[in-house]
């Protein structure tokens, strides 16, 4: 099911809603998306922008004499239509031109009764002590806006006391957001929620890091007399060596994926020592119990753009794969009934909604249900 089909389907539902011919289920769907829009004061300029963007594609047949009477409902439907396609977070992100990253000054007061996840990454220094962005050693950590994203610039060492400086050894991201960091060598790393990056001492002239979870790297090239300085990423299953490139590593349990966006990387299975070289737009998949490294043409590049914008993007993906991605992001166990594991899912949803909201949305657009039992989530 393509994006075009999905959009046409949504527009058909909204057209029926406006004409008063929608079913109860379709009306509930529009109402649900409208109610999911953040409860904030929306200026007339924003409302006009939403209305203007949607007028060209939704219900062109509205009569002029009806527009004043139906303006409130029209704006409701226009807003809901945008949410149906790309989620309410993305509407307001586009209108306000805001970054996905929570501003530092908001971190102390951004928790709610529902969302109790930490709002700042955790930094572990070489002496084992842990700090956050709210601690004095890190509260003045410099950052830059790069392509609309806030990137924290990590120094070589940090002043812990007046006469003591410590090197950074680990970054943990226990939050429900993506955080970007510029490492000391100029490499940029984006850490997914529930991901960890260890900064290891250089060995044999190689830059070394170790990761758990999902991390996107944009590696800085460093030229030396002998050539370019290698950058090595270690995971539980593999060792990845690069010179200067852009790639994403997904390291979870006994299965790992590497998606190469630019440059060239060499992967070596830690257990079997099998190796492959990836070219741009190729994806390597490794399993703990298999020596073979599967290399395929990547069709997931659209996910990188969606990830940067704070969205899940599913394009005709199996229910089991969708739930695996959701499970990893939220750090919660999700079990899928084998009878529905191959149901195709297409759509975009904000990554910053609660997991219950994401699952409820999937319930509304697919004939499935979810429930919690003993701390686990079951989809059937």
Q: For residue range 206-222, list pLDDT tens digits in order.
A: 999 999 999 999 999 89
Ranges of residues in the chain with a pLDDT under 50 are 1-3, 36, 38-43, 46-47, 50, 54-115
CATH no. for residue 348?
3.55.50.30
Q: Which residues contact 193 (CB under 8 A, 6 or more apart)?
A: 117, 173, 174, 175, 176, 177, 178, 213, 329, 330, 331
Q: Residues 251, 321: one domain?
A: no
> Based on the domain organization, do 206 and 316 belong to the same domain?
no
The reply to whether 123 and 63 lie within a common domain is no
Looking at residue 219, what is its pLDDT? Answer: 92
Does residue 182 share a domain with residue 154? yes
Percent of residues, the chain, with pLDDT higher than 70: 68
The residue among 276, 302, 328 that closes a domain is: 302
| 23 and 121, same domain (yes or no) | no
123 and 250 belong to one structural domain: yes
Residue 232 pLDDT = 95
Q: Sort 140 into a burial class: Cβ within 10 Å, 0-12 / 13-18 / 19+.
A: exposed
Q: Write the CATH number for 112.
A: 2.60.120.1440
What per-residue confidence (pLDDT) applies to 155?
A: 86
State whether 147 and 189 are in the same domain.
yes
Do 142 and 262 have their domain in common? yes
The reply to whether the predicted model has a pTM over 0.95 is no
* Same domain flag for 207 and 287: yes
pLDDT given for residue 266 in this prediction: 92
pLDDT at 335: 92
**Final residue belonging to a domain, choices 302, 323, 338:** 302
Angle between helices 64-86 and 88-96 (to 10 degrees): 100
Phi/psi at 210 (5° precision) = -130, 140
Q: Which of 241, 267, 302 is the last residue of a domain?
A: 302
Q: What tens digit of pLDDT does each residue of 28-84 get?
A: 566 655 554 544 444 455 445 545 554 444 444 444 444 444 444 444 444 333 333
Same domain, 87 and 125: no
Determine the structural domain holding residue 369 and report its residue range.
310-379
Shared-domain flag, residues 112 and 21: no
Structural domains in the chain (count): 3
Same domain, 317 and 368: yes
């Amino acid at each position: 099911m393509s994006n075009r089909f999905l959009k046409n389907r949504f527009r058909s539902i909204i057209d029926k809603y406006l004409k008063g011919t929608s079913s109860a289920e379709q009306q509930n769907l529009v109402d649900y998306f409208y109610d999911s829009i953040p409860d904030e004061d929306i200026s007339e300029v924003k409302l006009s922008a939403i209305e203007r963007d949607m007028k060209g594609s939704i219900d062109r047949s509205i009569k002029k004499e009806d527009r004043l009477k139906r303006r409130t409902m029209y704006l409701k439907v226009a807003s809901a239509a945008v949410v149906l396609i790309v989620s309410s977070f993305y509407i307001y992100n586009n209108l306000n031109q805001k970054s996905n990253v929570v501003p530092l000054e908001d971190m102390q007061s951004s928790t709610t009764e529902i969302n109790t996840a930490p709002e700042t990454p955790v930094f572990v220094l070489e002496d084992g002590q842990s700090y956050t962005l709210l601690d004095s050693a890190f509260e003045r950590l410099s950052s830059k806006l790069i392509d609309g994203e806030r990137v924290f610039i990590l120094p070589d060492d940090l002043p812990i006391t007046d006469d003591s400086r410590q090197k950074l050894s680990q970054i943990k991201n226990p939050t429900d957001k993506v955080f970007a960091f510029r490492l000391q060598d100029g490499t940029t790393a984006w850490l997914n929620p529930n991901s960890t990056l260890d900064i290891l001492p250089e060995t044999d002239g190689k830059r070394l890091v170790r990761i758990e979870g999902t991390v996107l790297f944009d590696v800085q090239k460093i030229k030396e007399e002998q050539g370019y300085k290698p950058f090595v990423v270690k995971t539980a299953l593999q060792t990845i060596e690069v010179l200067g490139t852009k790639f994403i590593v997904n390291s979870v349990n006994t299965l790992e994926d590497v998606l190469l966006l630019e440059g060239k990387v060499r992967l070596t299975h830690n257990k079997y020592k099998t190796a492959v070289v990836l070219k741009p737009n190729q994806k390597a998949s490794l399993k703990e119990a298999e020596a073979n490294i599967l290399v395929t043409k990547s069709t997931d590049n659209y996910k990188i753009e969606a990830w940067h914008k704070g969205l899940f993007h599913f394009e005709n993906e199996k229910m089991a794969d969708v739930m695996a991605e959701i499970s990893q992001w939220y750090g919660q166990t999700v079990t899928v009934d084998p009878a529905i594991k191959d149901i195709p899912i297409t759509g975009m949803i904000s990554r910053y909604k609660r997991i219950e909201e994401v699952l409820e949305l999937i319930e509304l657009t697919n004939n499935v249900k979810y429930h919690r039992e003993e701390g686990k989530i079951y989809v059937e």
